[in-house]
Amino acid sequence: MIENWDAQLEAKILAENFYLDKSREDRMAEIKDVFQKAGTIESIDKIEPMNQLRGSFKMNSENGVVRVFFTLTPEKSPKVQQLDVSFDLDKGK
């Protein structure tokens, strides 16, 4: 989703309140900036669950690490309620 921002996919996987804190356009611009800084993604680590609804994973890139944190809604068919994407220059962390 964060590569293409496909509206149909978003409708299927995002919670109703996903864009309340930050608009779609702001999220797209912010995440595009992260991936521009990161460069080519070389590998993606396994998801590290915090609990049944939250987790994170890292995407290792040529210039550093893209960190992704997410929270799912507590319903029968969970949807993404929170998504934080950040870039870290230090590959060692």
DSSP 21-43: SS-HHHHHHHHHHHHHHH-SEEE
Going from the C-alpha of 48 to that of each of 38, 44, 56, the distances in angstroms are: 21, 12, 5
Q: What is the pLDDT of residues 17-49, one digit of tens each?
A: 999 989 999 999 999 999 999 999 999 999 999
Which pLDDT does position 3 carry in this prediction? 81
Q: How far is CA 68 from CA 8, 73, 76, in A?
A: 22, 17, 23
Measured from the Cβ of residue 24, the count of other Cβ atoms closer than 10 Å reads: 13
pLDDT at 84 over 80: yes
Q: Which pLDDT tens digit goes with each residue over 55-76? A: 999 999 999 999 999 999 999 9
